[in-house]
Amino acid sequence: MDTQSISSILNPTPKEEAKKSGDILGKDEFLKLLISQLQNQNPLEPMNDQEYVSQMAQFSSLEQLQNMNSSLSQNMQYNMLLSQTINNTMATSLIGKEITADSDSVGIISGSGADITFKSADFALSGTITITDESGKVVRSLQVSNLQSGDNSIHWNGKDDLGNNVASGNYTYQIDLKDTNGQAVTVSNYRAGTVDSVKYVDGQAYLLVDGAYIPLAQVREVKAG
């Protein structure tokens, strides 16, 4: 019976390497092939001790690598679950505390306004703040001027460009500033406020701050409340 050698599988020719990954030899198939090779070897030319030991060593290495891969995969899943649990536990401890987080959204209750906060890298001679609703529709464009470098806060009264109160909900803003030479000024949007509650979506924690939900990962500063 013509039995394929184990060495030819572990050291394939370029043509054999082109096979699909589904054809990779597993440790069970490896052992079965070794037994079959021993059973069907030519009695006049039996496998010598050196070749047998070599193939058993290859089998041992294959099994160790597969076990190591399985162990690493389980450890990664465990670490991800542990990290998520720690983050979610931490989120509840922030209720009632004042935080600062990277954010480009504000929460509006119809009839009220909200402050849009950001940090400007340089003095801005002019600029526009474009506010969109949850569907991406522009509801308001605010013109600003003479903004100093550093922290800035612009109050939005919660009305659209026609003077009507916008509906309650979350609104996203984009800030475009220009310096005295008409060049763009770098802006970092952020939100500061007190955490009112925590919501979990797909295992991730979101903090409710002044009517807007902010991912826990975006928090960059926490002050004692």
Per-residue pLDDT of the chain (225 residues; tens, 9 = 90+): 444 454 554 455 555 444 444 455 555 666 676 667 666 665 655 555 455 556 555 656 666 666 676 666 666 765 666 565 666 667 788 888 898 999 898 888 888 898 999 999 999 999 999 999 999 999 999 999 999 999 999 999 999 999 999 999 889 999 999 999 999 999 999 988 889 988 887 777 888 888 788 888 888 888 875
Q: Which residues pair with 73 in a beta bridge?
A: none
Distances (CA, A) of 180 to 144, 159, 174: 14, 30, 20
Q: Which helix (H) or strand (E) holds 9?
A: helix 6-10
Q: What is the pLDDT of residue 119?
A: 95
Q: What is the pLDDT of residue 38?
A: 63
122, 119, 180: which is closest to 154 by C-alpha?
Answer: 119
* Structural domains of the chain, ranges and CATH numbers in brackets: 6-90 (no CATH), 98-223 (2.60.40.4070)
Cβ–Cβ < 8 Å for 121, 149: yes
Strands 169-178 and 124-132: antiparallel
Q: Can you give the pTM of this predicted structure?
A: 0.57
Q: What is the pLDDT of residue 214?
A: 86
**CA 174, 175, 181, 183: dihedral to nearest 10 degrees?**
-40
* Cα 55 from Cα 185, distance rounded (Å): 66
At 88, which amino acid appears?
N
Q: What is the pLDDT of residue 104?
A: 92
Neighbours of 82 (CB within 10 A): 10
